[in-house]
A and B are shown apart, each in its own frame.
Chain A
Amino acid sequence: QKEVEQNSGPLSVPEGAIASLNCTYSDRGSQSFFWYRQYSGKSPELIMSIYSNGDKEDGRFTAQLNKASQYVSLLIRDSQPSDSATYLCAVNIDGNTPLVFGKGTRLSVIA
């Protein structure tokens, strides 16, 4: 059973703080990793992808991957109320099978 685990939250952080969202996965052969942001009632939007160990930065977002420990995280610096959303972690085992999604972490940024 291929699983992706996320803390469902809600994770509450004050405006301007760093939000840290975590995800673990069960299949050691997983190849690619994604973070989607989903506002209430809207569709998921891809915000970060990461394929190799280490950090990947894009603006206020940093994705971190540690394949040995089988976890991937998303850091949001200078959190804004507009970052309040559910963040879905998704993992690809190989290019021919569908992504496996976690249940999502709800983030609330308090002004």
Chain B
Amino acid sequence: DTEVTQTPKHLVMGMTNKKSLKCEQHMGHRAMYWYKQKAKKPPELMFVYSYEKLSINESVPSRFSPECPNSSLLNLHLHALQPEDSALYLCASSQNSRAGYTFGSGTRLTVV
């Protein structure tokens, strides 16, 4: 299995909703990442988990809450988002960054 699976593919949520994005990989990769990407911009790093522990938080607002329940799963919990948070959310994994990343297909999030 050489894939990173993200669900859902599309999500529309209101500003008072709570929702979660899910990411799963079965490649034995030790690092997992959340990125946010706006149209015509490069991916912007949000969080890095290494060996199931949060190692990098790029000063992301607390309305985004990551969770790594085990080495194969990564969640991103969303609460009280703003319309400007609408973007493509990408999950990636790697054995180490020297080997590059495998990206999931992304979740297209729209906040209304």
> Across the interface, do B97 and A97 meet the contact criterion of CB distance under 8 Å?
yes
Tell me the bound Cα distance from A12 to B31 in angstroms. Answer: 37
Interface centre among B33, B97, B100, B108 (most CB of A within 10 A): B97
Whether B42 lies near A88 (C-beta < 8 A) is: yes
Contacts of A45 in B (CB 8 A): 103
Measured CB to CB, the closest approach of chain B to A90, in angstroms, equals 7
Residues of chain A touching chain B, judged by Cβ–Cβ distance below 8 Å, are: 31-32, 34, 36, 41-46, 49, 88, 90, 92, 94-99, 101-104
Query: For the complex, would chain A's binding face be called helix, strand, loop or mixed by DSSP majority?
Result: loop
Q: Measured between C-beta atoms, what is the minimum distance from B32 to chain A in Å?
A: 11
Instruction: Please tell me if B96 contacts chain A, counting CB pairs below 8 Å.
Output: yes
Give the nearest-CB partner of B56 in chain A: A98
Q: In the complex, how many residue pairs between chain A and chain B have their CB atoms under 8 Å apart?
A: 56
The count of chain B contact residues (Cβ–Cβ below 8 Å) is 22
Known: A101-B43, A104-B42. A95 touches B98 (CB 8 A): yes
Determine if B103 and A98 form an interchain contact, defined as CB atoms under 8 angstroms apart. Answer: no
- Least CB distance from B41 to A in Å reads 7
Interchain CB contact under 8 A, A44 and B43: yes
Alpha-carbon separation in the docked complex, A81 to B12 (Å): 32
Hey, which chain B residues are within 8 Å of A97, CB to CB?
97
Interchain residue pairs with CB less than 8 A apart (21): A31-B98, A34-B100, A41-B108, A43-B90, A43-B105, A43-B106, A44-B43, A46-B100, A49-B100, A88-B43, A90-B100, A94-B97, A95-B96, A95-B97, A97-B97, A98-B33, A98-B45, A98-B48, A98-B97, A103-B41, A103-B42
Tell me if B81 counts as interface (CB < 8 A to partner A). no
Q: How far is the CA of A101 from the CA of B42 in the complex (A)?
A: 7
Q: What residues of chain A lie closer than 8 Å to B96, measured between beta carbons?
A: 95-96
Question: Which residues on the B side are within 8 Å of A43 (C-beta)?
Answer: 88, 90, 103-106
Q: Report Cα–Cα, A99/B104, bound state, in Å.
A: 16
| Contact across chains for B106 and A42 when beta carbons are under 8 A apart | yes
Tell me if A41 and B88 are in contact (CB < 8 A).
yes
Task: Determine whether B86 belongs to the interface, using a CB cutoff of 8 Å to chain A.
Answer: no
Q: Which residue of A lies closest to B101 (CB)?
A: A99
Assuming the contacts A43-B105, A45-B103, asked whether A92 and B97 have C-beta atoms less than 8 A apart, the reply is yes
